[in-house]
Amino acid sequence: MCQALNVTQCLLSTRIYGFANIMNKLEETLECFLDYLSMERGLAQNTIISYRYDLIKYISFLKKKRISSFNQTNKVLVNNYFVYLRGKDLEINSISRNLVAVKMFYRFLLMEDLIKEDITSLIEFPRVSKKLPHVLSSREINLLLDEANFKGKLGLRDQAVLELFYATGLRVSELIHLKINDLNMENCMLKCLGKGSKERIIPFGNKAYQSLSLYLDRVRPKLVRNPDEDTLFLNSRGEKLSRQGIFYLVKLYAQKARIEKKVTPHTLRHTLATHLLENGADLRSVQEMLGHSDISTTQIYTHVSRKWVSEEYYRAFPRA
């Protein structure tokens, strides 16, 4: 089975046994592609999961059309898939993401001589609208991080989590994989392994330092069960906090603070970036801190900042 092979073995099997044994098994070819993304492209696991999810939908569509080999597909079929996605009432951004996954997949098939031409090369994808991210105001951040919200030992842990999110702009996957040795408490810095296994050093402020110190001194020693456990943030069973657990606690404290906006861990990342730029931070520095490979991703926060200024103006100016 292709699932049990690495990408080299998988592709070698394809070449030795031909299309008949591999290409009629669409899912196995997909696994070869995902192995390629992981082992040769070094993409993050969450990105690979997204590709899998999107391409399984495409394969299901092909099966409904009685397609058993990617060599049987054509441009008309891919266009029909676009129409099919539109019929699912998906947002245009979601449709575009699905089609990008299909395009990447066909490039891989052509590169490995598994198809004779890339039928997606001339297909125009829908334009993606860049939505401005939701951010919290300074007042809302203060409500969220109010010490009165955090009770008991798990409350102190949660306070450290939220303070660190806002202070550093970490992604959820980056925070849950932090190790104790990644912290430099003396210099208020942490080491983070981000997308594409790129390492970056991020500073954090005094509030995050204080909450982390309380957590490390008073809480974590009581949570840890295995003396060899080096993960920074633990749950009540002494295990690494899960993504779901992080999302739950952020939502919980947003409700406690009576913030009406939808608040997720990524909201705190957006908020940090916007607040830094509003207060004069250099765009390149913010890019480095957030781990953006392209500065255009960081630039969207300048638009958020301008939007906020405009809203404040029209709210406060008496003759607006």
DSSP assignments along 177-189, one per residue? T-BGGGEETTTTE
Task: Return the H-helix or E-strand segment holding 200.
Answer: strand 199-203
Annotation marks residue 134 as catalytic: no
* 192 touches 182 (CB < 8 A): yes
Is 106 an active-site residue?
Answer: no
Of 99, 233, 94, 227, nearest in space to 156 by CA: 233
Catalytic residue, candidates 36, 81, 106, 301: 301
- Measured CA to CA, the distance from residue 104 to residue 93 in angstroms comes to 16
Nearest CA-CA partner of 41 in 145, 197, 275, 226: 197
Residue 270 annotated as catalytic:
no
Q: Which of 25, 103, 134, 195 is catalytic?
A: 195
Task: Give, for 254, the enclosing helix (H) or strand (E).
Answer: helix 243-256
Q: Hey, what's the torsion of the CAs at 14, 18, 19, 24, to 10 degrees?
A: -70
Instruction: Give me the catalytic one of 36, 58, 171, 270.
Output: 171
Q: Is 292 a catalytic residue?
A: yes
State yes or no: is 218 an active-site residue: no
Q: Which of 157, 220, 270, 292 is catalytic?
A: 292
- Rounded distance between C-alpha atoms, residue 182 and residue 232, angstroms: 9
Which is catalytic among the residues 36, 106, 220, 269? 269
Which entry of 266, 275, 284, 313 is annotated as an active-site residue? 266
Distance of alpha carbon 32 from alpha carbon 145, whole angstroms: 45
- Residues with a known catalytic role: 171, 195, 266, 269, 292, 301
